[in-house]
């Protein structure tokens, strides 16, 4: 029976063996395997690398023969990586990161001709108030650059550190202690209350008693705490929760025709108020604003393309004010 030390030694030897195998693979197969691990789909991996699906299927067949492992197996309607594939994913991504950083160092970045793909992680709130308008602008400035915007998920710090995510846009205090990440502030936003335009109990102002007792739509599906939850716990406020929504954007959509209320960022509230029949009222308590920031891996600091991306996101944030 293997002890813990023996298991660790076996795992270490397996990773070392995998690294030696990777040296015998050509770069195209490494790129194919990296795309397959990221997408878990031959079709999406082919789209990611801008190759045909038959070519990606052929690459997967060669990889399976090389590693004597299926790498991707069907589970229900999805393809999932095998244990061997999961062990290969990290050294492959690290090797490709080093290659990409070396090739990009010292080179100019021309967004008008680049075919780079950037992966961003941001809430739908940020997508609506800042990223959406920015991506429309960039469609002219960088017509062939592709942007993938993913919702925040568990393990985002590690994903950014490993450059699996190029840029994380998130409230700074919810990211926590991530000293390995670099960051820069973007903007602040006030919290206000959204209610139905014809709310039966509210006039132009909300009292503290109404704020504490009116049924509330809350947001609670993210990978960390939420800003509204954090702010109100700091004040010692507990409110009756009627509904837990999946996002900031869904919350106000549930308000028309009800007695519900929901605290939301003011910029999002102003964007949605006229469209969906809600109105905004001031919070009857003093609450710190939320602070949005961007986070990236130190590996990306000197990458001209990444510097361009960070500059354009910072400019979009400044334009909000």
Which CATH superfamily does the domain covering 191-288 fall into?
A: Periplasmic binding protein-like II (3.40.190.10)
Q: Is the pTM of this model over 0.85?
A: no
Tokens, residue 237 = 């406020």
| DSSP category for residue 259 | S
Radius of gyration of the chain (CA): 24
176 torsion bin: left (phi>0), alpha (psi -120 to 50), beta (else): left
- Residue 121 CB partners (closer than 8 Å, separation 6+): 149, 150, 151, 152, 153, 156, 159, 160, 165, 167, 168, 169, 170
Give the CATH architecture of domain 4-104: Orthogonal Bundle (1.10)
CA distance readout (Å), 152 to 119, 247, 274: 12, 11, 28
Tokens, residue 192 = 């206000």
Domain with CATH 3.40.190.10 in the chain: 117-188+291-320, 191-288
pLDDT recorded at residue 306: 93
Which of the four CATH numbers 2.60.120.10, 3.40.1260.10, 3.90.1150.10, 3.40.190.10 does domain 117-188+291-320 have? 3.40.190.10
**Of residues 18, 182, 168, 28, the one with CA closest to residue 96:** 28
Residue-by-residue pLDDT tens, the chain, 321 positions: 334 333 333 334 444 555 555 555 678 888 898 889 888 899 989 988 888 999 999 999 999 988 899 999 988 888 899 999 888 888 887 778 777 766 665 567 899 999 888 999 998 899 999 999 999 999 999 999 999 999 888 788 888 887 889 999 998 888 876 668 899 999 999 999 999 999 988 888 999 888 888 888 887 655 555 666 667 667 666 665 677 777 778 888 889 999 998 888 999 999 998 788 899 999 988 888 889 999 998 888 888 999 999 999 999 999 997
pLDDT recorded at residue 107: 66
Domain with CATH 1.10.10.10 in the chain: 4-104
**Of residues 121, 233, 234, the one with CA closest to residue 171:** 121
């Amino acid at each position: 029976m293997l002890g813990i030390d023996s298991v660790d030694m076996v795992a270490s030897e397996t990773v070392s063996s995998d690294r030696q195998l990777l040296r015998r693979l050509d770069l195209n197969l490494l790129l194919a395997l990296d795309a397959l691990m990221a997408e878990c789909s031959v079709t999406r991996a082919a789209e990611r690398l801008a190759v045909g699906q038959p070519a990606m299927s052929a690459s997967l067949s060669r990889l399976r023969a090389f590693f004597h492992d299926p790498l991707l197996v069907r589970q229900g309607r999805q393809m999932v990586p095998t244990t061997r594939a999961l062990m290969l994913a990290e050294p492959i991504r690290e090797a490709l990161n080093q290659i990409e950083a070396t090739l990009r160092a010292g080179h100019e970045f021309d967004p008008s001709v680049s075919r780079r793909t950037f992966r961003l992680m941001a809430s739908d709130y940020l997508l609506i108030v800042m990223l959406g308008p920015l991506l429309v602008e960039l469609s002219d400035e960088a017509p062939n650059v592709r942007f993938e915007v993913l919702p925040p998920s568990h393990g985002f710090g590690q994903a950014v550190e490993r450059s699996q995510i190029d840029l994380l846009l998130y409230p700074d205090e919810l990211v926590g202690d991530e000293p390995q990440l670099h960051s820069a502030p973007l903007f602040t936003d006030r919290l206000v209350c959204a209610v139905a335009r014809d709310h039966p109990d509210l006039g132009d102002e909300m009292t503290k008693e109404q704020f504490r007792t009116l049924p509330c739509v809350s947001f609670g599906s993210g990978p960390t705490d939420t800003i509204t939850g954090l702010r109100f716990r700091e004040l010692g406020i507990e409110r009756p929760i009627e509904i837990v929504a999946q996002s900031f954007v869904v919350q106000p959509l549930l308000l028309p025709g009800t007695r519900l209320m929901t605290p939301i960022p003011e910029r999002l509230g102003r964007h949605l108020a006229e469209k969906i029949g809600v109105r905004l009222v001031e919070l009857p308590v003093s609450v710190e604003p939320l602070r949005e920031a961007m986070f990236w891996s130190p590996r990306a600091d000197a990458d001209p393309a990444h510097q361009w991306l960070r500059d354009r996101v910072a400019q979009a944030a400044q334009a909000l004010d």
